[in-house]
C-alpha cells in the first residue's frame, strides 16, 4: 500500500481542499470526502458520510452525496478543484437521509447526472424522504438543511448488474435486509475497491435501527469474499479495519444473544462490557450497544421460537 493511500485511510493528508469539504485521494482518480466518523448530530451538521468521488476520464461518479444541499455544494466545489469533468452518475447506496439528501446539489447541474439506486432504495426514498427531511431538519435545525429538496433516483441498479463509469467497471450487489431494507454495494475488481455504504463501520458501534442482524451478517460474508484493498463504508479503510471488525461485532452480538436465549434469557450477560470484549472501546458503545442487544434479541428470539438456526 502506498504512503499516500495509508495517509488517506488514516484520516490525514487531505489532497484537495476548497470550502468546507475536503477530498482525500485514495487511488489515482478516486477520492473520499472527509466526514465525521460519527452518528448524525447537531455538532457535525449531519456530515458523517465519506462520499466517494471517482474521476473516470469520461465524467465523475459520486456515491452517497451526503446529508444536505450545503454539503453537496461544498463537495461540488471540491470536485471542481480536481477536475473539470461533468458529474455524470450519482449513486444512492441506501435510503438513509444523511446519505442521499445532498442529491439536491447535483440535480441543478446541466447536463443533469443520472441518479441511480436499487428499486428497493428508490421506492423507499419515494415513500419516506419527505418525513426523513423533516426529521433531519428538526434534528440539525432549518439552517443546516436550507434549500435541500428531495431528488429521487431511478431504480436502475440490480444485483448482478455491471455499471460502467469510464474505464472502471463496477459489479453491483444489492443486499435486501442488511444494514437497511436494501444496501447496494459497488465493487471495482481491477481497482480492488469496494463501496459498501452503511454495511461497514470502523472503530464505531454500528447503527441497527432498520437492520436485520442475520441479513447484515450474510451480506458482509458475501462482500468479504471479494478481493479488495480499500473499502469505503461509513469510514474509509482496509477490509481488516472495516469489514472484518464489523462482521466480528455482529457475529459476537448474535452469538451472545443466542447463548443467552439458550441459557434461559439473561440479556445482562450480553450487555456487559466484559462480554463485549474489544468492542467496548468503540465509539458509542455505552449508548448504541444496549440498543443493538435489544434489536438482536427481538430478531433472534423470533427465529429461536420457530426453531430456526441462529448461527
Residues that bind Zn ion (CB under 5 A): 96, 198
Query: Would you call 287 helix, strand, or coil by DSSP?
Result: helix
In the complex, the smallest distance separating the C-beta of residue 180 from Zn ion, rounded to whole angstroms, is 5
150 φ, ψ (degrees, to nearest 5): -85, 130
Name the residue nearer to Zn ion (CB basis): 113 or 198.
198
In the complex, the smallest distance separating the C-beta of residue 2 from Zn ion, rounded to whole angstroms, is 30
> CB within 8 A of 82, min separation 6: which ones?
16, 23, 31, 53, 55
In the complex, the smallest distance separating the C-beta of residue 145 from Zn ion, rounded to whole angstroms, is 18
> CB within 8 A of 66, min separation 6: which ones?
33, 35, 46, 47, 49, 51, 72, 75, 98, 99, 101, 102
* CA 264/CA 244 separation, integer angstroms: 30
In the complex, the smallest distance separating the C-beta of residue 129 from Zn ion, rounded to whole angstroms, is 14
Name the residue nearer to Zn ion (CB basis): 63 or 261.
63
Name the residue nearer to Zn ion (CB basis): 211 or 260.
211
HEC string for 186-245? EEEHHHCEEECHHHCCCCECCCCCCCCHHHHHHHHHHHHCCCCCEEECCCEECHHHCHHH
Name the residue nearer to Zn ion (CB basis): 96 or 191.
96
Residue of minimal Cβ distance to Zn ion: 198
Name the residue nearer to Zn ion (CB basis): 74 or 198.
198
In the complex, the smallest distance separating the C-beta of residue 50 from Zn ion, rounded to whole angstroms, is 12
The C-alpha angle with vertex 308 and arms to 290 and 218, in degrees rounded to 5, equals: 65
In the complex, the smallest distance separating the C-beta of residue 43 from Zn ion, rounded to whole angstroms, is 19
Name the residue nearer to Zn ion (CB basis): 80 or 288.
288
Amino acid at each position: 500500500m502506498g504512503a499516500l493511500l495509508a495517509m488517506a485511510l488514516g484520516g490525514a493528508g487531505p489532497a484537495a481542499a476548497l470550502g468546507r469539504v475536503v477530498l482525500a485521494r485514495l487511488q489515482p482518480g478516486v477520492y473520499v470526502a472527509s466526514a465525521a466518523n460519527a452518528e448524525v448530530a447537531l455538532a457535525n451538521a449531519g456530515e458523517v458520510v465519506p462520499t466517494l468521488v471517482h474521476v473516470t476520464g469520461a465524467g465523475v461518479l459520486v456515491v452517497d452525496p451526503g446529508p444536505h444541499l450545503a454539503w453537496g455544494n461544498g463537495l461540488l466545489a471540491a470536485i471542481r478543484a480536481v477536475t473539470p469533468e461533468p458529474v455524470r452518475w450519482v449513486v444512492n447506496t441506501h435510503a438513509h437521509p444523511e446519505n442521499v439528501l445532498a442529491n439536491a446539489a447535483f440535480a441543478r447541474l446541466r447536463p443533469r447526472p443520472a441518479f441511480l439506486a436499487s428499486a428497493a432504495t428508490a421506492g423507499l426514498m419515494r415513500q419516506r424522504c419527505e418525513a426523513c427531511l423533516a426529521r433531519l431538519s428538526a434534528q440539525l435545525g432549518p439552517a443546516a438543511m436550507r434549500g435541500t429538496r428531495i431528488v429521487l433516483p431511478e431504480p436502475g441498479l440490480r444485483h448482478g448488474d455491471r455499471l460502467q463509469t469510464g474505464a472502471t467497471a463496477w459489479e453491483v450487489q444489492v443486499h435486501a435486509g442488511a444494514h437497511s431494507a436494501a444496501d447496494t454495494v459497488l465493487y471495482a475488481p481491477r481497482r480492488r475497491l469496494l463501496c459498501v455504504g452503511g454495511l461497514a463501520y470502523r472503530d464505531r458501534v454500528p447503527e441497527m435501527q432498520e437492520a436485520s442482524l442475520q441479513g447484515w451478517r450474510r451480506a458482509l460474508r458475501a462482500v468479504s469474499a471479494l478481493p479488495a484493498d480499500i473499502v469505503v463504508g461509513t469510514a474509509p479503510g482496509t477490509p481488516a479495519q472495516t469489514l472484518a471488525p464489523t462482521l466480528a461485532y455482529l457475529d459476537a452480538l448474535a452469538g451472545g444473544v443466542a447463548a443467552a436465549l439458550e441459557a434461559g434469557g439473561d440479556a445482562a450477560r450480553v450487555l456487559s462490557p466484559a462480554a463485549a470484549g474489544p468492542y467496548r472501546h468503540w465509539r458509542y458503545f455505552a449508548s448504541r450497544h444496549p440498543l443493538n442487544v435489544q434489536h438482536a434479541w427481538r430478531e433472534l428470539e423470533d427465529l429461536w421460537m420457530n426453531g430456526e438456526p441462529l448461527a
